[in-house]
Amino acid sequence: MWTLRALVRRTGLASRAAVAYGTADADADADADRTDADRTDADRTDADRTVADRAVEGEPGTPMGPGPEAEPGPGPEVERPVVMRPVVMRPVVMRPVVMRPGAYGAGGFDRRRLLTGVAGGVVAAGAATVLGRALGSRQAVDTARGGLALPAPAAPAAPLPAGTDFRISGLSPFVTRNRDFYRVDTALVVPQVDPRAWRLRVHGMVDRPIELTFDDLLRRPLTEADITLTCVSNPVGGEYIGNARWLGVRMADVLREAGLQSGADMLLSTSEDGFTCGTPVDVVMDGRDALFAVAMNGEVLPVDHGFPVRQVVPGLYGYVSATKWVVDVKVTRFDRDEAYWTPRGWAAKAPIKTQSRIDLPRQGATLRSGRTTIAGVAWAQHTGIEAVEVRVDRGEWRRARLAAVPGPDTWRQWALDWDAAPGRHTIEVRATDAAGRTQGEQQEPPAPDGATGWHTITVQVA
């Protein structure tokens, strides 16, 4: 019997009612291309089950329609009246799909694979003659993507400073490989957008509405920037975060060309699959590297990351900034329009909160006594991390050493040497950002605007 997922793959149908945002490398879908006839549910691991699977299976918390979730109640009994139970409003839970980081070599991304200057402009896999937007087949999109040569940036990122990555085994690398980047996806099918048919419409509270083709976008000056993205669903100590070097057109430049009208405070962006996202205008226009991105870590943007174009805005959680497959930007007001997640219980505006995480040792690890290293990452995008402190068994806070960073928009590695004595120990971490704000101890869940609290682990020392 065919599952809905298999039928969608077989027919190539795309659900505009599906919703997606976040990032993932196209390589992550290679295994998913096997049909259900080749692969049974028995040989699928939990890591293989994307949010799309869970939506098909009806797992609670996965949004399937426009309304709120209903609180389940008992069904009617024989010869008894049916009791109408009230619908209870509560935040819909975003369920990310995580591509867990693996071992990382010393090479980082290869600029030479991407930054190939093309004299006289750029040809995007062929002439852009198709009117409107269209979903192409995966094969056609892969062919178009593979044929792209993107120009060198007008504003390249500086080389990473020495000491950016401690290269400690088990510590998240400074640059997250595309295939390891976390993924948040509730779409049944990843949109396959042919760059020849792609259009970006900018309209609403502007003096001059704009419509851009992919070639139009690539003819503009490109900016390269190191930016860490974080999902609002990330719990304390969670892995729904990754850092990459992005290439794209500054959103502020496009908006200035369109001419923002007085009173506009929201960008309501729409994805090819219908997902909507509300981003504050003042954030995009304040000088930060908010981009219509076309490349990631020296490669043309992967399909699962939003090829051909996605938004990247440092300092905001993804659900209010990181629209993938973006095709429409309406300049409007927060008191006039709502983005997808707002009526589902999540905050309309969501700046990223200062957080830190222990990567090493892992929770529940058994260590040998003696000198060992405690290490992890901390982040406060567009503010920067000033200090990280660690304490063991509620003793004195000790300052960790910090890795170098290229700027305030990325996470920062930290490490501390510890003389571990035999026994069971509790390790806690907290960060202070460049504005002087130190994390509070109280842990709060992700809803409605991001988790807070100290990441705490326990280990056994033999």
What's the CA dihedral at 223, 225, 230, 236 to 10 degrees?
-160
Residue 47 has pLDDT above 80, yes or no: no
Look at residue 427 and tell me whether its pLDDT is greater than 50.
yes
CA distances to 52, 125, 143, 149, 151 from 112, rounded to whole Å, are: 35, 19, 20, 11, 11
Closest CA to 228 of 174, 283, 299, 156: 174
Q: Each residue of 357-385: pLDDT tens digit?
A: 999 999 999 999 999 999 999 999 999 99
Q: Which two tokens stand for residue 200?
A: 């970006």
Please count the other Cβ atoms lying within 10 Å of the Cβ belonging to residue 336. 12
> pTM to 2 decimals?
0.75
Distance between CA atoms of residues 148 and 117, nearest Å: 12
Which runs of E-coded beta strand occur in 63-144?
Answer: none
Q: In this structure, are residues 319 and 449 in contact, taking their beta carbons and an 8 Å threshold?
A: no
Handedness of CA 140, 142, 147, 150 (dihedral sign): positive
Which domains are assigned to the chain?
111-344 (3.90.420.10), 355-461 (2.60.40.650)
Q: Which of 338, 276, 350 is nearest to 18 (CA)?
A: 276
pLDDT band (50, 70, 90) for residue 135: low
Least confident span in 42-46, 58-62, 117-121, 278-282: 58-62
- Indicate whether 11 pLDDT > 90: no
> Given pLDDT bands bounded at 50, 70 and 90, which one contains residue 189?
confident
Question: Do residues 359 and 377 lie in contact, with contact meaning Cβ atoms separated by under 8 Å?
Answer: yes
Task: Kindly indicate the confidence band of residue 186, based on its pLDDT and cuts at 50, 70 and 90.
Answer: low
The backbone torsions φ and ψ at residue 227, rounded to the nearest 5 degrees and listed phi first, read: -140, 135
DSSP state for residue 77 in the 8-state scheme = P
**Distance, C-alpha 242 to centroid of its chain:** 7
Distance (Å) of CA 101 to CA 21, 143, 237: 19, 28, 14
Q: What is the CA radius of gyration of the chain?
A: 23
Of 39-53, 431-445, 447-461, least confident by mean pLDDT is: 39-53
Distance CA 258, CA 277 (A): 20
Q: Is 216 left (phi over 0), alpha (psi -120 to 50) or beta?
A: alpha
pLDDT band for position 183 (cuts 50, 70, 90): confident
What does the pLDDT read at residue 329? Answer: 99
By residue count, the chain amounts to 462
CA 302 – CA 432 distance, rounded (Å): 34
d(CA 334, CA 176): 33
pLDDT at 269: 98
Distance in angstroms between the alpha carbons of the first and the last residue of the chain = 52
DSSP bridge pairs for 242: 229
